[in-house]
Amino acid sequence: MEPIKIGLLGLGTVGGGTVNVLTRNAQEIARRAGRGIQISHAAAKYFNPNLIHGLDQIIHISKDAWAVVNDPEVKIIVELIGGDTIARDLILKAIENGKQIVTANKALIAKHGNAIFKAAQNKGVTVAFEAAVAGGIPIIKALREGLTANHIHWIAGIINGTANFILTEMRTKGRNFEEVLAEAQACGYAEADPTFDVMGIDAAHKLTILASIAFGIPLQFDKVYTEGINHIDPIDVAYAQELGYRIKLVGITKHVDTGIELRVHPALIPEPCLLANVDGVMNAVLVQGDAVGSTLYYGAGAGSEPTASAVVADIVDVVRTLTTDPEHRVPHLAFQPKEMSNLPILSIEQVETAYYLRLNVEDKVGVMAGIASILATEGISIEAIQQKEQPDGAQWVPLIMLTHEVTELCMNKAIQRIETLEHVKGSVVRIRLEQLDS
Amino acid sequence: MEPIKIGLLGLGTVGGGTVNVLTRNAQEIARRAGRGIQISHAAAKYFNPNLIHGLDQIIHISKDAWAVVNDPEVKIIVELIGGDTIARDLILKAIENGKQIVTANKALIAKHGNAIFKAAQNKGVTVAFEAAVAGGIPIIKALREGLTANHIHWIAGIINGTANFILTEMRTKGRNFEEVLAEAQACGYAEADPTFDVMGIDAAHKLTILASIAFGIPLQFDKVYTEGINHIDPIDVAYAQELGYRIKLVGITKHVDTGIELRVHPALIPEPCLLANVDGVMNAVLVQGDAVGSTLYYGAGAGSEPTASAVVADIVDVVRTLTTDPEHRVPHLAFQPKEMSNLPILSIEQVETAYYLRLNVEDKVGVMAGIASILATEGISIEAIQQKEQPDGAQWVPLIMLTHEVTELCMNKAIQRIETLEHVKGSVVRIRLEQLDS
């Protein structure tokens, strides 16, 4: 069988990695796929010729992405430009032209996936997006195909490497957020504009996709509650560790009686949990299904070749299903389009979690009684309490509390009242706590 | 589309779990598969009616497995009998009858898979076997489809839950092998005949399958080096822990310059490695690919519903590819049948690993020099050395050494010579040590 012809859009980090992997492992990939895979046409605004050796001598490279999308020889378009404007227009045009699509673009899928998949379905083509979530970890395949037997209860993932790197450094070296971030930027681990990573937006894109596939709901990026790690104080990282927990930026989506939770925020995770031990830039996704129980998927969540690994796996998958009638292919969002559900997404006030609280209090009789009475009124029960030693000469002592599960609404009310108490100073620090058991 | 009809062979632990999952999640599974899945005919020597409620009222159950295999209405045969005699005959007959096959039978695939896949290929049917390795963890799918882009360097897996449970108890509670095994048998975690689990045979079946899929080599169960955990002394578990390692029964297969390593044995794993933290009955498989780097897959490796989760995922996969022409399906062993490789399997003497050694020596001048000189002659360099305190009144003291990597052949020679030394008592305890870095 003659090689399948690929059109490649973008030759940056992931595009370069894809070229290199397809070139280096060409023979081994063809031995698996039963067919060669050939990049026949590529477009990029610019690319580093040192990164991709001699590429322009073997394939046609231009700056015209539309020429690639309209090239009749090209059967599969691999979109590695990123962003959700030009990339969207190019993909929609490629679909109109009957091309199969492979993309690593999480923002695009999270925000415009519903429309893109509908267009693809109408045209009978596939849009594959394994590389959009957790880089090289085949988590989309695991959820969409490996766990089809299960009613999924919840997913919790460390799905942003930069945020995980920062929190790992804060814990292991006692450094503060700004210092680690600055170093990560200097080393190229973090983007010049780190907002997407540290504010949880990138993780929210990925969580949107995971939730949709797990529960058969439309992609609803705008409904994700998103909170970053920029406000995490090293003292809380240290106190959490003393209590047997690690603070991680997690994406959590949960199927509860009243609907679907969809939230990205820092959380305390118990140390014995594997997820708490995923350090540095690594990613991991923990899935709880009713039949399988807990399964965890771990690996590099970003980077040139790990992401390319997922892109190329998608290309092989697409090649394999070219002759399959579209209704026998794996549905884009795991569930058949007509079988999607409209389960409501809960607001963060409706979400129930346990909490870690840190207050600065005066070490006086009756202070604790006042706080405990407010918590009791709001139905919040205390799991553990620790009064730290008073720093020399300080009037205020840190008081740490772990609570049982309660709705965010009740916790908000309680904190608002506690902050008005005379012997409590400043704001209450509040970080959610997830036991992650079934 | 009308439901697909399944013939089920075996209604034991996994068979019962499969019925229960298919019944409980029927609607959700059909929403994914686009088609109902109906067990229309089942055969079992005996089954527990309390486990599978009202089953005999909805499906046809008999003791005649051949009637199921020959039932023209049945499109997919799900073999959950186990063993490699009757199960093999039934599967070969079902293939001859043009049925698709799903099986959880690791022994059968490891020992007779080459012939079974050949027969299936000739007939244009699929034999799916996700449940044969690591229960509910979709590791076959990850390796065969998720990592197609990669040249796989090595795989290391904790793929026997019983052995992992015993080693975990030995470490956390300081108990000895026989005691924990007896308890595991009493609780039903371990089989009445635990040989397959504790001697590494079950893990060797699974490793055979993983190696074949990773490297594109035929299944060669008879070439796996297999060593059990029955000789592990609690003192070595404790010493390993003092040195920052945990002892695990691992299946390791590695692509090295001279061929393929294929071995199951206890090994010291560094504590910071996630694999070292996989405890109790849980399983995990760590895969090292050239593009993706390290990825790890964790979950329940056995049990009724976790295994059923994999069986049902395979059924859905098979349903989806019913209309695909056979040459576009994922090849049974990941590589196209005509593209399999005949890389040699190395003997254990050719394998290079690091070692943990424990000797009982007399605390005398010159003893260490004698040992060190033998190691040096065999080209073995010492990474760390610890002389333990002499127990009160004892003439002999334990000497612990960690070595750098060396071939097993050299280590055998060195140990043989060391054991002849006058001031060394008894046998040298030797456990391999795996750093598991890339």
The span from the CA of A27 to the CA of A37, in Å, is 10
CATH classification of the domain holding B232:
3.30.360.10
Which residue range(s) make up the domain with A16? 4-138+304-339
CATH number at residue B404: 3.30.70.260
Of A34, A274, A331, the CB nearest to B277: A274
Domain-terminating residue out of A269, A300, A331? A300
Residue A438 forms part of a structural domain: no
- Is residue B344 a part of any domain in this protein? no
A418: phi then psi, degrees, rounded to nearest 5? -60, -40
Asked if A145 lies within 8 A of B138 by C-beta distance, the reply is yes
**φ and ψ at B420, to 5 degrees?**
-90, -10
Q: Does B316 touch chain A (CB under 8 A)?
A: yes
Check CB contact of B321 with chain A, cutoff 8 Å. Answer: yes
Residue B259 lies in a domain: yes
Same domain (yes/no): B145, B259: yes
At residue A255, φ and ψ (nearest 5 deg) are -95, 105
Question: Whose CA is closest to B99, among B78, B129, B118?
Answer: B78
Residue B438 within a domain: no
Residue A37 located in a structural domain: yes
Chain A residues in contact with B336 by the CB 8 A cut-off are: 31-32, 34
3 state SS of A26: helix
Same domain, yes or no, for A118 and A18? yes
Using a CB–CB cutoff of 8 Å, tell me whether B136 touches chain A.
yes
Asked if the structure places residue A405 within a domain, the reply is yes
Residues A10 and A115 in one domain: yes
Q: Render pLDDT for A58-96 as a digit per residue (tens, 0 to 9).
A: 778 889 999 999 999 999 999 999 999 999 999 999 999
Local confidence pLDDT in tens for the 438 residues of chain B: 899 999 999 999 999 999 999 999 999 999 999 999 999 999 998 877 776 666 767 778 889 999 999 999 999 999 999 999 999 999 999 999 999 999 999 999 999 999 999 999 999 999 999 999 999 999 999 999 999 999 999 999 999 999 999 999 999 999 999 999 999 888 877 777 899 999 999 999 999 999 999 999 999 999 999 999 999 999 999 999 999 999 999 999 999 999 999 999 999 999 999 999 999 999 999 999 999 999 999 999 999 999 999 999 999 999 998 888 888 899 999 999 999 999 999 999 999 999 999 999 998 888 899 999 999 999 999 999 998 877 777 788 999 999 999 999 999 999 999 999 999 999 999 999 999 974
B327: domain CATH number is 3.40.50.720
A127, A144: one domain:
no
Question: What's the number of domains chain A is made of?
Answer: 3
Q: Could you tell me if A320 and A420 lie in one domain?
A: no
Q: Is B364 annotated in the active site? A: no
Minimal Cβ distance to B146: which of A29, A34, A313: A313
Using an 8 Å Cβ cutoff, are B166 and B198 in contact?
Answer: yes
Residue-wise pLDDT tens digits, A164-195: 999 999 999 999 999 999 998 888 777 778 99
Report the DSSP beta bridge partners of residue A83. Answer: none
Q: Are residues B99 and B147 in the same domain?
A: no
Q: Does A421 touch chain B (CB under 8 A)?
A: no
Secondary structure string (H, E, C) spanning B294-359: EEEEEEECCCHHHHHHHHHHHHHHHHHCCCCCHHHCCCCCCCCHHHCCCCCECCHHHCEEEEEEEE
Residues of A designated as active site = 206
Tokens found for residue A405: 């599960």
For the purposes of burial, counting CB atoms within 10 Å of the CB of A43, is it exposed (0-12), middle (13-18) or buried (19 or more)?
buried
CB spacing of B25 vs A323 below 8 angstroms: no
Q: Which of chain B's residues have a Cβ under 8 Å away from the Cβ of A149?
A: 21-22, 25, 29, 308-313, 316
CA dist A407 and B168 (Å) reads: 37
Q: How far apart are CA B56 and CA B183, in angstroms?
A: 35
Pair type for strands B152-158 and B4-9:
unpaired
Of A146, A134, A147, the closest CA to residue A289 belongs to A147
Is there a domain that residue A88 lies in? yes
As beta bridge partners, residue A262 has: A253
- Do A326 and A369 lie in one domain? The reply is no
Q: Which of A235, A270, A300 is the last residue of a domain?
A: A300
Closest residue in chain A to residue B286, using alpha carbons only: A298
* Same-domain status, A269 and A240: yes
The residue to which tokens 């060797």 are assigned: B204
Cα distance between residue B81 and residue B375, in whole Å = 50
Together in a domain, A294 and A317: no
Cβ of B323 within 8 Å of Cβ of A322? The answer is no
| Chain A CB contacts of B323 below 8 Å | 324-325, 328
Say yes or no: A151 and A288 in one domain. yes
Residues B17 and B129 in one domain: yes
Is B28 within a domain?
yes
Instruction: Answer yes or no: do A370 and A243 share one domain.
Output: no
Q: Chain A residue with minimal CA distance to B34?
A: A336
pTM of the entire predicted model: 0.97
